[in-house]
């Protein structure tokens, strides 16, 4: 096992935005707003906890604060069985934007299959610089971050499911059961089976054991920091559910997730406490990290609404919206490709019209290729779109994007604005809206969006230049401001500024969209 930290060592890991006093106050208050932003290492027990841990708070002289679970484990600490650090929401708001994106890719499991050099090259920085940033902002090496990710995912599966340990090892990203057992024993000083037995003996454990031991059904809790408006998210997805692919029934979101020739059924509902409940049927376990990444991003589970609200709340208009709907988040999309299709199909049509067209794409893909899904880029290049209800210019845009992706000329995860804008039919609104819904940029702001123009113009279309000027103070969280304004226009437009009647109407109609 790793060497234990000295009990008289009070040096912390340099948590970027929090002082030791703030961490101390947050853990004593069990303040959920700080969950995931730091971890408390208890030196006398060699255990680390979330700030919301229900256990009796340790004395401050026995405590050391870490900015990541990996940093705590690198110093020989074990995760608490009560508060379960593996459930803490990610806290990437404290990190440089590029590092946050790379960390999300590691959480997705990309470092398990690739190398750090490849990730660094794709980010346009050197491997040495990347390692230095990890040490500076996370207090751990990339290797330790990846190892901790695997171990904590395995711990979740050991705790919340009845999956066999061999299946858990491969689902977490270990190449063999021997490597899993060695890593587990080295980090935690006990076998995986022993930990499962300890957790089962814990009072709360039986409530978590909901999985089919054969792996057909898997149920996991996905925590978030409050406030979180689950009803608003469900309403958003209910209106935009693509027929044949997804639906919202009552308070449950459901969609099909195709992995090669296998189709999994994914369900999302309100979970216990501050969490959503994810239930998956027939999922190949190897793609579990990718699924968790998709769901957390789509449902915006890792947003730090306290930090976002502090800045946006300085604007009187946004402060009113925040007070009315404190838990409204930024609904995302399933993946970059699906969001691009939604953005293109939704150009200058209503939400209902766009969803009807997307449903037709699913139906035609099933009829032509035998798969009830949105067409892949290669399928879209061949798909019969005659009479589907879209103008020829939009069909050409769809095929142009599909051809660029199928040929390898374009990769959406790394595409620049310039590359996207060079494609026929792709304009600034499409790029901004796409980045916003993919959670690729929390400051993406489609200023030419008709709904936003009317929201800020009191029901009258405000010129783009004035929209940009008004939104400048909302950086770097303009995507959240857009989400709040869209929600207000849908639910209570009376909270928005009234029209003065003096707004100038531009001659050229800006692009109408389906937010």
Q: Given this model, what pLDDT does residue 120 score? A: 85
Hey, where are the domains in the chain?
A: 217-302
- What does R_g of the chain's alpha carbons equal in angstroms? 24
Which residue in the list 23, 49, 53, 80 is annotated as catalytic? 49
Q: Given this model, what pLDDT does residue 499 score? A: 58
Query: Quick check: 5 pLDDT over 50?
Result: no
Place of tokens 């604007």: 315
Task: With cut-offs at 50, 70 and 90, classify the pLDDT of residue 111.
Answer: confident
Mean pLDDT of 492-509: 61
Rounded-to-integer distance, Cα 330 and Cα 341, Å: 19
Place of tokens 């890792």: 302
Q: Given this model, what pLDDT does residue 10 score? A: 46
**pLDDT (tens digit, 9 = 90+) per residue, 235-264?**
999 999 999 999 999 999 999 999 988 999
Q: Given this model, what pLDDT does residue 503 score? A: 46
Task: With cut-offs at 50, 70 and 90, classify the pLDDT of residue 211.
Answer: low
Rounded-to-integer distance, Cα 480 and Cα 475, Å: 10
Mean pLDDT of 382-388: 96
Q: Given this model, what pLDDT does residue 486 score? A: 96
pTM of the model: 0.88
Mean pLDDT of 444-467: 94
Q: Given this model, what pLDDT does residue 504 score? A: 47
Mean pLDDT of 52-71: 94
Rounded-to-integer distance, Cα 513 and Cα 429, Å: 9
Name the more confident of 109 and 345: 345
Residue 417 bears catalytic tag: no
Mean pLDDT of 371-381: 96
Query: Quick check: 3 pLDDT over 60?
Result: no
Provide the H-helix boundaries in 251-391: 288-298, 305-312, 316-324, 336-345, 351-369, 377-382
105 and 111 in contact (C-beta within 8 Å)? yes
Task: With cut-offs at 50, 70 and 90, classify the pLDDT of residue 362.
Answer: very high
Residue 167 bears catalytic tag: no
The CATH classification of domain 217-302, taken from the options 3.30.310.20, 3.10.310.30, 3.40.50.11810, 3.40.350.10 = 3.30.310.20
Rounded-to-integer distance, Cα 317 and Cα 319, Å: 5
Query: Quick check: 7 pLDDT over 50?
Result: no
- The DSSP bridge pattern shows strands 47-49 and 39-42 to be antiparallel
Tell me how far CA of residue 509 lies from CA of 446, 467, 515, in angstroms: 15, 15, 17
**pLDDT (tens digit, 9 = 90+) per residue, 159-184?**
889 899 999 999 999 989 999 999 99
Query: Quick check: 14 pLDDT over 60?
Result: no
DSSP annotation of 421 reads H
Q: Given this model, what pLDDT does residue 104 score? A: 86
Rounded-to-integer distance, Cα 300 and Cα 328, Å: 10
Q: Given this model, what pLDDT does residue 93 score? A: 72
Residue 307: phi and psi, rounded to 5, are: -65, -45
Query: Quick check: 508 pLDDT over 50?
Result: no
Q: Write out the E strands in 353-442.
A: none
Q: Given this model, what pLDDT does residue 56 score? A: 94
**pLDDT (tens digit, 9 = 90+) per residue, 266-304?**
999 999 989 999 999 999 999 999 999 999 999 999 998
Query: Quick check: 207 pLDDT over 50?
Result: no
Place of tokens 């604005």: 417
Closest CA to 290 of 228, 334, 242, 237: 334
Q: Given this model, what pLDDT does residue 292 score? A: 95
Q: Given this model, what pLDDT does residue 13 score? A: 52
Share of the chain above pLDDT 70, in %: 91
Mean pLDDT of 347-356: 93
Query: Quick check: 4 pLDDT over 50?
Result: no
Q: Given this model, what pLDDT does residue 9 score? A: 41
Among 1-15, 16-30, 151-165, 454-468, the minimum mean pLDDT is found in 1-15
């Amino acid at each position: 096992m790793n060497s234990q930290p000295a009990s008289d060592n009070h040096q912390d890991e340099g948590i970027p935005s929090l002082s030791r006093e703030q961490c101390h106050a947050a853990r004593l208050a069990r303040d959920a707003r700080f969950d995931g932003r730091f971890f408390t290492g208890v030196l006398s027990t060699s255990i680390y906890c979330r700030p919301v841990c229900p256990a009796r708070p340790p004395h401050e002289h026995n405590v050391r604060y870490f900015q990541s679970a990996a940093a705590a484990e690198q110093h020989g600490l074990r995760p608490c069985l009560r508060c379960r650090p593996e459930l803490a929401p990610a806290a990437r708001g404290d990190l440089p934007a590029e590092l946050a994106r790379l960390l999300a890719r590691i959480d997705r499991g990309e470092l398990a299959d690739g190398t750090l050099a490849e990730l660094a090259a794709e980010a346009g920085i050197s491997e040495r610089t990347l390692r230095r940033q990890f040490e500076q902002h996370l207090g751990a090496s990339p290797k330790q971050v990846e190892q901790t990710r695997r171990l904590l995912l395995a711990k979740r599966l050991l705790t919340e499911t009845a999956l066999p340990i061999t299946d858990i090892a491969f689902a977490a990203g270990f190449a063999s059961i021997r490597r899993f057992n060695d890593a587990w024993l080295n980090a935690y000083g006990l076998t995986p089976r022993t930990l499962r037995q300890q957790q089962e003996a814990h009072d709360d454990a039986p409530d978590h054991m909901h999985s089919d031991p054969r792996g057909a059904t898997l149920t996991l809790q996905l925590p978030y920091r409050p406030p979180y408006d689950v009803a608003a998210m469900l309403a958003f997805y209910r209106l935009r559910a693509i027929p044949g692919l997804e639906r919202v029934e009552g308070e449950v979101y459901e969609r099909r997730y195709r992995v090669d020739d296998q189709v999994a059924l994914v369900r999302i509902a309100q979970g216990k406490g501050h969490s959503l409940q994810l239930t998956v049927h027939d999922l190949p376990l190897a793609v579990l990290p990718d699924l968790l990444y998709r769901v957390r991003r789509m449902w915006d589970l890792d947003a730090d609404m306290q930090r976002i609200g502090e800045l946006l709340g300085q604007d009187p208009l946004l402060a009113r919206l925040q007070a009315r709907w404190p838990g409204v988040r930024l609904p995302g999309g399933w993946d970059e490709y699906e969001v691009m299709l939604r953005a293109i199909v939704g150009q200058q049509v209503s939400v209902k019209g766009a969803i009807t067209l997307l449903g037709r794409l699913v139906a035609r893909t099933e009829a032509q290729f035998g798969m009830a899904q949105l067409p892949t880029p290669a399928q879209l290049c061949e798909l019969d779109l005659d009479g589907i209800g879209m103008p020829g210019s939009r069909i050409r845009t769809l095929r142009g994007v599909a051809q660029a992706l199928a040929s390898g000329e374009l990769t959406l995860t790394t595409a620049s604005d310039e590359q996207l804008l060079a494609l026929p039919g792709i304009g600034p609104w499409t790029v901004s809206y796409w980045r916003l819904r993919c959670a690729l940029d929390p400051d993406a702001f489609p200023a030419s969006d008709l709904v936003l123009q009317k929201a800020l113009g009191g029901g009258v279309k405000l010129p783009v230049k004035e929209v940009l000027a008004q939104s400048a103070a909302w950086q770097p969280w303009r995507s959240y401001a857009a989400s709040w304004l869209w929600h207000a226009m849908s639910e209570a437009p009376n909270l928005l500024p009234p029209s003065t009647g003096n707004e100038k109407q531009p001659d050229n109609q800006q692009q109408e969209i389906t937010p």
